[in-house]
């Protein structure tokens, strides 16, 4: 940007750059089950860690329901549609404080994204 510039234009440019930076951040999950994103962190259960591994690997992309069922089947003997929905519901609640959200992509699966953008 070149001077002179109005204060409103400068603030709009700064907001746009911050939004671009925020959209490129990717959450991290360590072996102890601590999920970190944007300077915040929470702990999650083992089952939630399994689901989050898939979601973080493809942050911002759709993860199909079948992939979740396959991943949970390694830990839980019987994975039903309702049990997967219950895990996702609980995980959504856990993610609220750290500006992450899980969006349902109807007929396909779920998508992890930055809730602040």
pTM of the model: 0.74
Rounded Cα distance, 84 and 81, in Å: 5
% of the chain with per-residue pLDDT over 90: 38
The pLDDT of 43-54, averaged and rounded, is 91
pLDDT tens across 12-45, in order? Answer: 888 777 766 655 578 999 999 999 987 889 999 9
Banded pLDDT at 1 (limits 50, 70, 90):
low
Rounded Cα distance, 38 and 27, in Å: 8
């Amino acid at each position: 940007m070149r001077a002179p510039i109005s204060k409103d234009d400068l603030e709009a440019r700064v907001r746009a750059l911050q939004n671009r930076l925020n959209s490129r951040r990717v959450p991290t999950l360590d072996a102890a089950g601590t999920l970190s994103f944007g300077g915040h962190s929470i702990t999650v259960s083992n089952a939630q860690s399994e689901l989050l591994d898939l979601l973080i690997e493809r942050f911002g992309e759709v993860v199909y329901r079948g992939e979740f069922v396959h991943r949970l089947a390694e830990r839980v003997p019987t994975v039903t549609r309702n049990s997967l929905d219950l895990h996702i519901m609980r995980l959504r609640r856990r993610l609220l404080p750290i500006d992450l959200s899980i969006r349902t992509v109807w007929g396909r699966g779920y998508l992890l994204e930055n809730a602040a953008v």
